[in-house]
Amino acid sequence: MKNKSFLILTCALLSSAPVAQAFDLSQAWRAARTNSADYRAATFNRDAEIEREKQAKAALLPQVSLSGSYTYQPPSLSSTRTTRNANIQLNQTIYDGSKWAQYRLSKLNSQAAESELRHNHDDTLLKVSESYFNVLLAKDTIRAVEAERQAYRQQMKQASEMYERGAATAVDIHEAQAGYDNAVAKEIEAITRKQIAENQLSNYTGLDVEKIEAVPMNHLIERVQPKVKQRSLAQWQDLALKNNHEYQNVKLNAEMADEGVNMARANRLPKVSVSVGYQHSRYQGAQAQQDYAYTGKGLSASLQVSVPLYTGGEIRSKVREAAARSGEAESKLLSVERKVKLAVKQAFTENNALRYQVLAQERLLNSNRLKLKSTRTGKDFGVRSTLEVMKAQQEVADSEQKLAEARYRYLQSFLTLIKESGMDMETAWLATRGQVVQPTSAFPVKHYQNMQPKRKYKRKRV
């Protein structure tokens, strides 16, 4: 009775235990956003830069302070025994070119941090998709090699039986054994690749990789290719220069370098500020054996003007340094522009080539399957040998592996093209599956709308 109760309790606990849910690529992306430490670091950096922008703006606004004091001194030190003082002060910068330049620079910094966050986000998604496809490819390879191994095992059994009847030679057995050993070696290699890919995917997402869902491959070309062919290569490159987050980040850095020149030059200009205060003071003491007390209060105002006359060449040196940094940023911008254009061209070219490769591999697989069927029929009639059957089996397995590899590379090249062009990868991916959804963005829309540089970067003369 106790054993039965224990069994019932165990079954109840197991049934109530949480079961890992199957996940697709979109869910893996969402998990990676939560699990990635680099992505969280970029998020915190973006938030910090937004706060720095607020701090730079605060330096241009009125600064109000309130202070008070109370002082007591014994009669042996001073005739004034107690002093009470209260003061309220308002300071306002009228003109300070360096502060205004610092504010503009902080706005660009926060926009660059936003762009860097999006670049990190897209890089993370692309790495996850690559690991995801590698896991699925390894699984497909294992299935194909396992089928090949089972066929060779059956071939070994048949060859041994025929050898015992005198209808086959030892060569037939050895050939089947060699094919079987080769299939085992390939299966071990595929299992190793699968474990490596699963480790990588688990590291990115924190999910149970055993619950990965396969990608539907029916009508793959028909679903993906229209999304690529809707633009020419030149149009994809133009789109990338408008939206690619890495390029926009470097472009903003060039703007910041330009603003650095303005900030260095602003140190030559006058700085003007005004202060207005109100003070209330009360003094109590004794003098000539008579107590006294008096109160003082009133407004005060001051205007401060500061003009640098000679700094030993420091200001001119800082201007030249900022101009050199500006030139460096301009060169980096040109380099990244070429890099982005090349990346788009490579992804576009690879995707176009892999489309034909997928079609060719599909036809090759069908041909090899027909060839295997015909070879087996010919062997039954004695016109084909065991070696020819094994070769046909191996060609079918190789075709299945190469077709799976071409399909996953085709999908990865498509996502790479989307990423390099600066488009939303999740929306593009779901669109290939016939789903239309709003992108699940983790970014504030208001800040993103202001992310584009306001003017084209041009290097200024010193």
pLDDT digits (tens, 9 = 90+) for 158-187: 778 777 777 667 777 787 788 888 888 988
pLDDT for 8 beyond 60 = no
Does the pLDDT at position 240 exceed 90?
Answer: yes
Q: How confident is the model over 254-276, as a mean pLDDT? A: 89
CATH of domain 98-270+319-449: 1.20.1600.10
**Element containing residue 330 per DSSP (H, E):** helix 314-380
Q: How confident is the model at residue 38 (pLDDT cuts 50, 70, 90)?
A: confident
**Is the pLDDT confidence value at 303 over 70?**
yes
The amino acid at residue 441 is: S
Residue 112 Cα distances to 116, 425, 435, angstroms: 6, 21, 32
CA distance 257 to 390: 67
**For 189-209, what is the mean pLDDT?**
91
For residue 284, is pLDDT > 80?
A: no
Q: What pLDDT score was predicted for residue 88?
A: 92
At residue 82, does pLDDT exceed 90? no
Average pLDDT, the chain: 83
Q: pLDDT-derived band of residue 447, with 50, 70 and 90 as boundaries? A: very low
Q: Given this model, what pLDDT does residue 403 score?
A: 93
Q: By the 8 A CB rule, do 113 and 304 touch?
A: no
Start-end of H helices in 231-288: 233-243, 245-266
pLDDT tens per residue across span 394-409: 888 889 889 999 999 9
pLDDT at residue 393, rounded to an integer = 82
Q: Which residues of 283-292 are buried (b: 16+ CB within 10 A; e: fewer)?
A: bebeeeeeee
Cα separations (Å) of 290 from 72, 79, 258, 427?
18, 10, 69, 88
Return the closest-CA partner of residue 398 out of 378, 375, 369.
369
Average pLDDT score over residue span 96-118: 88
Integer Cα distance of 202 and 426 in angstroms: 20
Q: Per mean pLDDT, which range of 1-5, 223-227, 447-451 is the poorest?
A: 447-451
Q: Is 445 exposed, middle or buried (0-12, 13-18, 19+ CB in 10 A)?
A: exposed
Model confidence at 288, pLDDT cuts 50, 70, 90, reads low
338: buried, middle or exposed (CB in 10 Å: 19+, 13-18, 0-12)? exposed
In this structure, how many other beta carbons lie within 10 angstroms of the beta carbon of residue 361?
20
What pLDDT score was predicted for residue 76?
61
* DSSP per position, 368-396: HHHHHHHHHHHHHTTSS-HHHHHHHHHHH
The 63-72 sheet, strands edge to edge: 63-72, 80-95, 271-287, 290-306
Stretch 424-453: mean pLDDT, rounded?
Answer: 59
At 316-374, the pLDDT tens digits run: 998 999 999 999 999 999 999 999 999 999 999 999 999 999 999 999 999 999 998 99
pLDDT at residue 114 above 70? Answer: yes
Rounded mean pLDDT of 4-22? 51
Record the tokens describing residue 158, joined without a space: 């048949």
CA distances from 244 to 119, 185, 241, 306, 435 (A): 8, 44, 6, 44, 24
pLDDT of 434 reads 64
Q: Is the pLDDT of residue 410 over 70?
A: yes
Give the C-alpha separation, 32 to 205, whole Å. 4
Which pLDDT value is given to residue 182?
85
Sign of CA dihedral 119, 421, 224, 400: negative
**Whole-number pLDDT of residue 79:** 62
Distance CA 196, CA 420 (A): 27
Extents of the domains making up the chain:
98-270+319-449
In which band, very low, low, confident or very high, does the pLDDT at 286 lie, cut at 50, 70 and 90? low
Whole-number pLDDT of residue 157:
81
Compute the distance between CA of residue 245 and CA of residue 451 in angstroms, rounded to an integer: 10
- Give tens-digit pLDDT for 131-162: 999 999 999 988 888 888 887 787 788 778 77
d(CA 451, CA 445): 10
Residue 193: pLDDT above 60? yes
Map tokens 């603003």 to a residue. 259
Q: Which residue is it, tokens 């370098």? A: 257
Q: What share of the chain in percent tops pLDDT 90?
A: 39
